Every structure is written in C-alpha cells, then in structure tokens.
Chains A and B, each alone.
Chain A
C-alpha cells in the first residue's frame, strides 16, 4: 500500500486492496483531529479574540483558573459525575449479573431493552421528558434533579462493559470455590467480584466521562444554581469567543482523554 514511490513498475495490489485507501484514512484522521488540535492551539493565544493570533501565552489558563464561576461549574460537574457514576455503576452491576448469569427467563429481552433505552432515545427527547416530569411531579432539588437525570442515562454506559466482561468470564473458578465449601456469598465476594472488577472499573469510567461531558440534558433539566462545566462553556460561547473558552475546554478535553485511555488499558488487560 505504502509504495507508490516505486516508480516505473507499478506493484500489483493483492486482492481486496485498493489504491488510495491509506491516503483517504490519513485525510479522515486529519478531519477527526483538526478541531481538537485547533482548539488546543488557540488556547495559548494571548489575544482577547480567539481568531486573531496575538502571540503565545498561558494568560487564559490563569484567568480561567481564577474564575469563580468556572470553579463552581467544575465542582458541580465533579459532584454530579461522581454521584451519578456511583449509583449507575452499582445499579448496572447487579442488573448485568442477572442478565448475564440468570439464564434465560421471561422478560430478559424486555429488561435488556429497558436498560439500553437511554441509548436509543435522542438526548433532546430524554431532556424534554425529564424536564416535564420534574415539573409535573414538583421535584425541585436543584443539583439533585441533574444527578437523577445523569444516573438514568449513565446506566447503559456502565452496563455494557460489565456485561461484556461477565459474558467473557469463565465460571469454572466460581464452581471450584463452591466445591471447596465457599458459601454463595463468599464465592461472590472473593471470586466473582475480583474477576469482574476490570469490567466494573471500565463501566464506571465510561459513565463518569459521559456524565462530565453531557450538555443538552443538563442544560434543560438544570436550574439556575446547577450549572455544570459544559453548560457554563455554552454560556461563554454565547457571550463572545475568547481564548478562555479554549483554555477551559482543553482541560476538560484532557480529562476525558486520560479517562478513556485508562479505560482502554483496563479493558484490554481484561481480555488478555
């Protein structure tokens, strides 16, 4: 593929290989990463206007760091993501145990459909439905409303890696533990849970990232005091484009990339 430079004699490509695929893929990755690179690059812009390059500087990082509103938004985001992840991961773990280990039972397909429902419904519809529900029932718990909404849509993201791990897991160790007179609970606690841990950690990471990054549902459901970081970034964009947005975004970007990379490592280890 990579030898168009061998002039004169055009090498015959093997069956199933096509010319230009490699170049197309390079172009694809440029398209995929260009916005991220541009975003990071302009966060070091010393100018007030994002698009007018005014020299290299860290000023906007300092400014963002000392911005009280941003600090509050970061705290809200961290609280929401942590609580939602804890609940969603626990709920998903017990659900996955039943669905992966409970054999075939009536209602299995429906249960699977229900758990993955938040993945299929467009986010804006979820947002509207939850907003209407809170207002109709009269629940007004500020950040609590946001947390409840986040738990709901984080469940399937936590569920998928846990279930995948369970289905790839050999039950022989658990059977061995039972044969050696471990009680059902002991087997679960000392054999199943440690074996399942990579799946649980992976699920928790995904739901944390999904919660940290959620924008539209939080925007609709969250009230005045429950601004999370993405919602605050949106309000900054509406007010005018300064490199401060890029600085905050870059930090958020690296948090997500770090967690997803860790997830990748954890789930890869699990399959070895």
Chain B
C-alpha cells in the first residue's frame, strides 16, 4: 500500500498540497491574471474581447467621448465607486455600533450559554443571503411589514418609500455581514482578563473609562478584523444593491455584473474588478502589517 507514496517527507508534502495548488492555482490564480490582461484589451461588442491592447477600459473610469469625439471628464463611474465606499463604510460602522455591545454581552454570559448565542449568530450567516435579502423587500417595501401597521394606525398617511434607497441598501448590507463583525470581536473579548477591569475600577476609572481605556484597546485586533471582514464583502456586494437598491442605485459589485450580463463590455468589467481587488489587497496588507506589528510588540514584552 505504501509503494506508490513518495519516500521523502518533502515528496509527501508536495503530493498532499498538489491538489490544492492545482485547483486554486488553475481556477483562481490564473483566472485573476487573465482578468488583469483582459482589462487591457478592446471589447468585442458581442461580449468577450478583441486581442488588441488598449487602455480604454481604464480611461472609461474617468472620461467619456462627447458627440465631437473629444474626451471629456465623466464623473458617473467615479460617483458609483465613491458611493460604494461610502455605503460600505456606513454599513461597517453600523455593524460595529450594533454588534460590539452584543459581542460584549455574550462574553459576560456563562460558558454553555455563550456557545448557544454564537450558534444563533452563525445560523443566519450560513443560510442563503439572497433569500434573506429578499425578505427585506417584504419588510421595507410598499405595503410591507413595517408600513402596513403604521398606515392602519394612521401614524403615516402615505408610503414611507423606504425601498430603492441608499438607506435600504445600507440596512441590507448591515444585516448581511453583521455576524462577520460580532464573531471576531467576541473571539478577542473572550480572551480578555476581567481582573484588568476590576483593577482599573479600583484605580478610580469610571465605568465609561473602563470601557474606553481598557476593554476597547484590548480587543482592538478583533474590532479591526471585524471591520475588514465586513468592509470587503460590502464593497463587492451585488445582492443588496440589486434587490434593495432596485438596480438604479448601483454599487461597484452590481456595476461589474452589469458589464458582463448586459453592457457586454468585458474589459471594463475586468478593470472594475481589478480596482475592487486592489482595494481589497491594500486593506489586507494594512491589516497584515498591523497584525505583525502587534505580534512583534507582544513578543518583545
């Protein structure tokens, strides 16, 4: 049975990792390189690309041709990108404000109950995002769960028009990625030594100071991890802007999908994806730097 296995440890290692390298390398890494190449080609009007080098996709981000074929500045796409960052930032902030006290509350509970809370938080995360977002249409929509009782009670007289707004998208995004904020914060709070809080209190720190000067600084790694974990998928979100923004209030993710499904401008779609990817890489590098700095600081203590 052992005959076909390589004898050396290095050989076995290679054999065990080869399938992962093969699948993720060929079907993820290589495609991303090809995507980068495609972003520098000319679009084929029926989808796909022509093998002609061009910077048109990147120029299109900022400029358009007017009727006389002059390049003029076009803020349209920049606005969409800017809005995506704004909405993602807003949703991340909402997740933090909403999720932090919950993560903290869970750490105060006895251990068996903590696990149950974590289970309750992960359940929605593992269920289909599309259908959970669809449910928000029923909640926020005209004649939906929120409006109907308010209308019936005479508190409002007309529809609140909550759907197809940036607010609806922000709620959808917050809802989608809330567990990704709570879990890492909980993970770092769980390691918190509660004697430190008592020590701070004994040294006349107020309740507020205990929170802002002891708890929050100590779980900063969890907060940063949570913010990045929420921000990244928000930036590339497709479902929330598409269903709750009605396709009019575009975000980066839905703009990318539109280039492939309807506009048939593959290079532009690829260029937008490259933009998204570089934003993510910058954030991850920033995060890795912060983490390694922290590790070296802890190591020197």
Contacts and interface: CB of A to CB of B under 8 A. Distances in A.
Interface of A: 1, 15-18, 21-22, 24-25, 28-29, 31-36, 38-39, 42, 50-52, 87, 90-92, 94-95, 97-99, 102-103, 105, 111, 114-115, 117-118, 120-133, 135-136, 148-149, 151-152, 155, 183-185, 206, 209, 212-213, 215-216, 219-220, 230, 233-234, 237, 241, 245, 249, 252-253, 256-257, 259-261, 264, 268
B130 A233 contact: yes
Given A129-B35, A132-B38, A15 B198 contact: yes
Contact of A51 (B24, B144, B175, B207): B144
Contact of A152 (B2, B21, B24, B126): B24
Nearest to A129: B31
B159 to A, nearest CB: 12
A129 B273 contact: yes
Contact of B207 (A18, A111, A117): A18
Contacts of A233: 128, 130-131, 134
A233 B261 CA distance: 17
A118 B2 CA distance: 33
A94 B20 CA distance: 9
Contacts of B105: 21-22, 24-25
B178 interface: yes
Nearest to A96: B16
Contact of B260 (A52, A105, A131, A213): A131
Given A34-B139, A124-B257, A125-B273, A25 B101 contact: yes
7 contacts: A16-B108, A16-B198, A21-B108, A91-B23, A102-B9, A206-B126, A257-B123
A120 B236 contact: no
Contact of A128 (B20, B24, B256): B256
A58 B136 CA distance: 22
Given A124-B238, A135-B48, A16 B197 contact: yes
Interface stretch (B60-68, B113-121, B150-158, B293-301): B113-121
A114 B134 contact: no
B27 A132 contact: no
A155 B108 contact: no
A230 B104 CA distance: 35
A216 B276 contact: no
A92 B21 CA distance: 11
B211 A257 contact: no
A98 B12 contact: yes
A268 B115 contact: yes
A261 B132 CA distance: 18
Contacts of B239: 215-216
Given A114-B20, A115-B24, A125-B277, A35 B136 contact: yes
A122 B128 contact: no
A51 B280 contact: no
B280 A120 contact: yes
Interface in B213-266: 215, 232-233, 235-236, 238-239, 243, 253, 256-257, 260-261, 266
Contact of A25 (B5, B102, B136): B102
Nearest to A137: B34
Given A22-B105, A230-B128, A36 B135 contact: yes
Interface string B164-186: 00000000000100110000000
A24 B102 contact: yes
Given A51-B138, A260-B123, A253 B131 contact: yes
B98 A28 contact: yes
Given A35-B135, A124-B256, A21 B20 contact: no
B121 A32 contact: yes
B130 A215 contact: yes
Q: Name the 10 nearest CB pairs between A and B, nearest first.
A: A122-B236, A35-B135, A133-B31, A98-B16, A129-B31, A249-B131, A39-B135, A95-B20, A91-B19, A94-B16
